[in-house]
Amino acid sequence: MSELVKLGLKEAAEKVKAREVSSVELTQACLDRVQARNGDINAFVTVCSDKALEMAEASDQRVKEGKSRLIEGVPLGIKDLFCTEGVLTTASSHILDGFVPAYESTVTANLWKAGGVLLGKLNHDQFGMGTANENTHYGPVRNPWAMDYTPGGSSGGSVAAVADYQCMATTSTDTGGSSRQPAFMTGTVGIKPTYGRCSRWGVISYASSLDSPSVNARTVEDAALMLRAMAGFDPKDSTSADIEMDAFDEDLADLDVKGLKIGLPTEYIEVEGLDPRIKQTVLSTAKRFEEAGAEIIDVKFPLIEYAVPCYYIIAPAEAASNLARYDGMRYGLRVEGENLVDTYKKTRSAGFKLETKRRIMIGNYVLSSGYYDAYYLKAQKVRALIARDFQNALDKVDVILAPTAPTPPFKVGALTDPVQLYLQDIFTIPNSLAGLPAVAVPSGTVEEGGTTLPVGIQFIGKLFKEKDLLKVAYAHEQMTQFKPLELKG
Amino acid sequence: MHPDYEMVIGLEVHAQVNTKSKLFSGSSTEFGAEPNTQANCIDLGMPGMLPVLNQAAVSAGIKLGLAIGATVSPVSVFARKNYYYPDLPKGYQISQYEKPIVENGMVSIDLDDGTTKEIRVERMHLEEDAGKSVHDIGLESHSHVDLNRAGIPLMEIVSRPDLRTPEEAGAYMKKLRAILRFIDVCDGNMEQGSLRCDANVSVRKKGVETLGTRCEIKNLNSIRNVMRAIQYEADRQIDVLEDGGKIQQQTRLWDNDKAETRAMRSKEDAHDYRYFPDPDLLPLRVSGARITEIRETMPELPDQMKERFIEAYGLSVYDASVLTISRQNAEYFEAALSLKNGKPERDPKLLTNWMTVELFAALNKAGKDIMDSPVSPEQLSELVSLIEEGEISGKIAKQVFAEMLETSKDPSNIVEEKGLKQISDTGALEEIIQKVMDDNEDSVEKYRNGNERIFGFFVGQVMKATQGQANPGVVNELLKKALAG
């Protein structure tokens, strides 16, 4: 196996620009790796060999002409919720069978403009709904750390592909934790930027008010560079923010930990069901920062127990409506029935998996006349209160340190109760409800029955202050010297 | 109509906003294109597509709000109305629901007896139109969907139940249409569906305060049908009540061919639309500065223009109402008045008669709009001028006007070509009068013996001899003198 696949995004781009390696060589190395591993890991739904090499050749041509761009020539994996022009886009669902968009999502278009190469489309929990990557039409994704373990969800393919050295960075989406919980499960980095930082245009919607196009990579610096290439204001998305962008990947080491104020929410680490090893991970992170001169400040989140219920009202409500367009009339799967209503029923029954159907039903229920005020409206009020708590906390501190997930990685099929799965997101949902950015970073490993598994923490930052947040994550990365999974296979 | 009852009517009018592009996408809104040629990925409800609000449609909404003296909300919200139908690609319609852009307006209607009545407008909200399902082409087992209309901006204008007769409902529709056209936000074309109407009708015994159970009538595509359907529906409800029955709250469909309404669905079958604020769109904020800016560019409105016509030109309320029913009528009228320093050169009353009687009748007959009038305002002005100057008589003028309609020639040219100029030359007329008197000695005798009633006979003879071109005033004067001997 070519050692080229071990290059990080920044390193690889620099080598391509310096003509130390060609984009074609790099891309071919990744394609070979995917070819060798996808049967086991199942990270890719679609591998775009021809298109990838074509884009790589064009990239090499640009380098020759001295027209190199930010992430020139680096092969990237794209979560299959991002529409890619002329390339099958499935949302990991049966209902989008054969759907080939005539348009390119803004985020992926930005990546190609920055010189990126489309390696393929990544598996995930369909429409972004799930925490174990089992809610997919294309079969579960496996955790490269241990094949009988899940890489988490919904962005299981996004993290598995980078953890397993199949590509240098990937896009993901994060609605209630879908880029961070999988990062935690695979010892990789996941950035959920501020809501509105990356355009949702051309990204298949799950819950519009929460969906945040996100990033997965093996290091903070690579993730930051990837975010820089993806983000930006987009007039085609009415919820996109017209706020100046930082060069997220530059000057990451430029942080004086001395005097840094880190919020540690008691309610988070006292949550029932939090594995003591995870709690310990958070506390030792706090300790390391404290020893380096940071100030650890207790912050209050009295409403944390309401975050998951609140999310599981708002997200399904929006999803039920967002997924109504998949009716078999214009594209994707169609199962003919006796009449119109029968065709709708048969198509949607066959096209969605159980968890997706469950959320559609919950969503329609909470929006129904007579229940709207009790559920949807109340959830919106709770959401506003949670956002207020964050604002109060972030007035006092620079970042908040929190667990990412409540337990170490678990096995495929281990969690069958939906509520148990929903509680996986207990630490990632609250700041998503507030639109705040967060970054999940690995901090060590634990042993489970002889298997070494990664664990990590997350930092939550201020609105549109991703750069400050990433500096803290970078400092953490330097302190822990976490050893990523070794290249195997 | 049963004398003990009165109707209570409220109208929901859907006006298509005449923006170039759709409410949430850049697709063209032009009428009459090939099916599905004006529907892009957003209109088709493709995965990942997002709406972006058309600000021109918002401005149109603000304009209407100002025109009906309503409150323009500083914050309004677009919601999703969820239901499944093949002509609704997203599975929901984006429509303002709880917080509309415009609330509490007023439309003043002109009634036939010359009085006016104020009709309250509860709200106006912006929403997107659905596509069109077509069931009567191709295979019988298949239906077709045209999404050209999907996403076209509509204003839904909801009146309070202040209307009491079909005539009031008709007058309300006419006034609303006039306002929409004056402020240039909707072409008001009911045949093409640019203006549609649903009517809520109930009846109650006169003197009763509470409202009766209402039925909503759909599919009303002309003002005439609005009036007919309301009358039919009120009569139907009264029959039910008089027979001891109860009115079921229903949605009913107007069948134009059978001239009746029939039940479509009852209240129990009503959809639960599961409205909620559209998370793809932020709340719509309208600043005071924007409202001020639009207010400053507002054109004169029908009622303001009507008042001005009465004041400045001395017209009756009726004439002023007729002339201001559309901006084109009013503009035609004012052009034909030939204003000089604000003062009309033509007699407004005479011109009004020519416009509202002769011209409108001719246009009506030809099925033409005033915009396509074969007679220009300048030509009509010239015709009236010829009458005022005594160049032609009113009777000859009608002949000239008929020719103008045919040929679009200037009236002076027609008068010239056909030698229709009025004879005011006393010498020539005296000769003719002498000849008429010589030919009718008996009648002269009778007149001179006191039978003055036959004076008209002599006038007629003179006019006949001059083929109507004699100036009647001059003829009268000369005849009187000659007959007196």
Smallest Cβ distance to B280: which of A238, A320, A367? A238
Select the residue from A204, A330, A331, A338 to test the B interface by mutation, using most B Cβ atoms within 10 A: A330
pLDDT for A413 equals 94
User: Bridge-partner residues for B28, per DSSP?
Assistant: B21
Pair of tokens at residue A214:
């996100």
From the list A99, A238, A318, the residue facing B50 with the nearest CB is A238
- Partners of B276 on chain A (C-beta within 8 Å) are 317, 321, 367, 372, 376
- The answer to whether the Cα torsion of B3, B4, B5, B6 is positive or negative is positive
CB A311 within 8 A of CB A344: no
Tell me the two tokens of residue B450: 């006191």
Domains delineated in chain B? 5-293 (no CATH), 300-418 (no CATH), 426-483 (1.10.10.410)
Q: Which pLDDT tens digits describe chain A residue by residue (489 residues)?
A: 689 999 999 999 999 999 999 999 999 999 999 999 999 999 999 999 999 999 999 999 999 999 999 999 999 999 999 999 999 999 999 999 999 999 999 999 999 999 999 999 999 999 999 999 999 999 999 999 999 999 999 999 999 999 999 999 999 999 999 999 999 999 999 999 999 999 999 999 999 999 999 999 999 999 999 999 999 999 999 999 999 888 999 999 999 999 999 999 999 999 988 999 999 999 999 999 999 999 999 999 999 999 999 999 999 999 999 999 999 999 999 999 999 999 999 999 999 999 999 999 999 999 999 999 999 999 999 999 999 999 999 999 999 999 999 999 999 999 999 998 999 999 999 999 999 999 999 999 999 989 999 999 999 999 999 999 999 999 999 999 999 999 987
Q: List chain B residues with CB under 8 Å of A365.
A: none
Cβ–Cβ under 8 Å, residues A177 and A428: yes
Q: What is the pLDDT of residue B481?
A: 87
Mean pLDDT of the residues in chain B: 93
CB pair distance less than 8 Å for B44 and A327 = no
Q: Is A275 helix (H, G, I), strand (E, B) or coil?
A: coil
- B347-393 pLDDT, tens digit per residue, is 999 999 999 999 999 999 999 989 999 999 999 999 999 999 888 88
> What is the least distance, in Å, from the CA of A67 to any CA of chain B?
32
DSSP letter at B356?
I
Set of chain A residues whose Cβ sits within 8 Å of the Cβ of B45: 325, 330
Q: Of residues A288 and B476, which shows the higher confidence score?
A: A288
Token pair 């990664």: residue: A454
Q: Cβ of B52 and A238 within 8 Å? A: yes
Of B266 and A477, the structure prediction assigns the larger pLDDT to A477
Token output for A153:
């969800």
Contacts of residue A96 in chain B, CB cutoff 8 Å?
47
* A160 neighbors A41 (Cβ within 8 angstroms): yes
Distance (Å) from the alpha carbon of B46 to chain A's nearest alpha carbon: 8
Catalytic residue among A154, A179, A199, A432: A154
Question: Which residues in chain A touch residue B84, judged by CB atoms under 8 angstroms apart?
Answer: 324, 327, 344
Cβ B347 vs Cβ B387: under 8 Å: no
pLDDT recorded at residue B425: 74
Q: Which of B53, B84, B91 sits opposite A238 (nearest CB)?
A: B53
Residue of chain B nearest A104, judged by CA positions: B48
Q: How far is B142 from chain A (nearest CA, A)?
A: 10
Side chain identity at residue A256, one-letter code: D
Gap between the terminal Cα atoms of chain B = 66
B50/A89 touch (CB, cutoff 8 Å), yes or no:
no
- C-alpha B258: how far from chain center: 26
Of A10, A17, A79, A353, catalytic: A79
What is the token pair recorded at A37? 């591993």
Contacts of A373 in chain B (CB under 8 A): none
Indicate if the pLDDT at residue B451 is higher than 90.
no
| E strand or H helix that includes residue A393 | helix A378-396
Q: Which CATH superfamily is domain A3-230 in?
A: Amidase signature (AS) domain (3.90.1300.10)
CA distance B441 to B52: 90
Q: What is the pLDDT of residue A1?
A: 63
Tokens representing residue A202 in the block: 């051309």
Q: Do A101 and B84 touch (CB under 8 A)?
A: no
d(CA A109, CA A85): 9
Q: Residue B47 is nearest to which of A96, A344, A369, comparing CB atoms?
A: A96
Cβ–Cβ of A321/B280 closer than 8 Å?
A: no
* Cis peptide upstream of residue A154 (ω within 30 degrees of 0): yes
Give the pairing of strands B132-134 and B144-146.
Answer: antiparallel
List Cα–Cα distances, A445 to A187, A220, A483, in angstroms: 8, 18, 9
Alpha-carbon distances, residue A82 vs A69, A100, A141, A233 (angstroms): 22, 11, 18, 17
As given in the structure block, the two tokens for residue B125 are 């909200």
A79: three-class secondary structure by DSSP: strand
Q: CA B21, CA B10: separation in Å to the nearest integer?
A: 31
Whether the per-residue pLDDT at B239 is higher than 70: the answer is: yes
- Interface A:B, Cβ pairs < 8 A: 99
A154 belongs to the catalytic site: yes
Dihedral sign for Cα atoms in the order B206, B207, B211, B213: negative
Separation between Cα atoms, residue B143 and residue B129, nearest integer Å: 19
**Any chain B CB within 8 A of the CB of A85?**
no
Chain B contact for A200, CB < 8 A? Answer: yes
Q: Of the candidates B45, B275, B281, which has its C-beta nearest A325's C-beta?
A: B45
Cβ contact, residue pair A327, B280, below 8 Å = no
Pick the more confident residue, B442 or B12: B12
Catalytic status, residue A178? yes
Separation of alpha carbons A216 and B24, rounded Å:
33
pLDDT for the residue numbered B427? 80
- The larger pLDDT score, comparing residue B417 to residue B307, is at B307
Q: Are strands B250-255 and B71-72 parallel, antiparallel or unpaired?
A: unpaired
| Of A200, A233, A235, A202, residue with least CA distance to A214 | A200
Nearest-CA distance A304 → chain B (Å): 23
Of A178, A179, A240, A432, the catalytic one is: A178
Q: Please state the rounded mean pLDDT for residues B8-27.
A: 98
- Tokens in use for B371? 């915009």
Residues of B with CB under 8 A from a CB of A: 41, 44-53, 80, 82, 84, 86, 89-92, 145, 272, 274-276, 278-282
* Whether the predicted interface score ipTM is above 0.90: yes
Of the candidates A294, A283, A165, the one whose C-alpha atom is nearest the C-alpha of residue A219 is A165
A325–B91: do the CB atoms touch at under 8 Å? yes
Whether residue B139 has pLDDT greater than 90: no
- Min Cα distance B145 → chain A (Å) is 10
On chain B, the residues whose CB falls within 8 A of the CB of A235 are: 52
Is residue A209 among the annotated active site residues?
no
Spell out where B28-148 has E strands: 71-72, 75-76, 78-82, 92-96, 102-110, 116-128, 132-134, 144-146
Closest to A225 (Cα-Cα) out of A191, A199, A200: A191
Q: Is B8 exposed, middle or buried (0-12, 13-18, 19+ CB in 10 A)?
A: middle
Contact B279/A344, CB-based, under 8 Å? no
Q: State the Cα–Cα distance between residues A82 and A171, nearest whole angstrom.
A: 9
